[in-house]
Amino acid sequence: MTITRIDPDDRWSEAVIHNNVIYYTSVPTELENDAYIQTQSALAEIDKLLARANSDKLHILDATLFLVNKSDFAAINKAWDEWVAKGSAPVRCTVQAGLMKKEYLIEIKIVAAVKS
């Protein structure tokens, strides 16, 4: 059984790969007070990490979006719909959550398969 930790730190790893499955949580690097821009930013970070882990958005199995403000639901859906692979959308849920960094309006957790 091999567990690969990408950029491990004392508190967390950037991502973990086990049995050809990638576990990753993305936060935005663009911290403007705009949920659409933050969602685009978090999705771009997902693309980067998946490329590092020999995967891509076509291989995402599951996504959970943590949204601070319900009123931003349309904005995050707009960014998601522009980004998601049409016909290959993962299982997805969105929950309203108080995030630990006050600047974050969105956080996205994914589970993805490594390309074979």
Amino acid present at 25: T
Q: What CA dihedral angle connects 86, 19, 50 and 72, to 10 degrees?
A: 60
Q: What is the pLDDT of residues 26-42, one digit of tens each?
A: 999 999 999 999 999 99
Q: What is the pLDDT of residues 37-72, one digit of tens each?
A: 999 999 999 999 999 999 999 999 999 999 999 999
**67 to 14, 22, 56: CA distances (angstroms):** 20, 22, 23
Q: What is the mean pLDDT of residues 79-100?
A: 97
Residue in the block written with tokens 């930790």? 5
Q: What is the CATH number of domain 3-113?
A: 3.30.1330.40
pTM confidence score: 0.96
Shortest CA distance to 62 belongs to which of 112, 6, 10, 2? Answer: 112
Distance CA(97)–CA(35), nearest Å, equals 14
Distance CA(75)–CA(14), nearest Å, equals 26
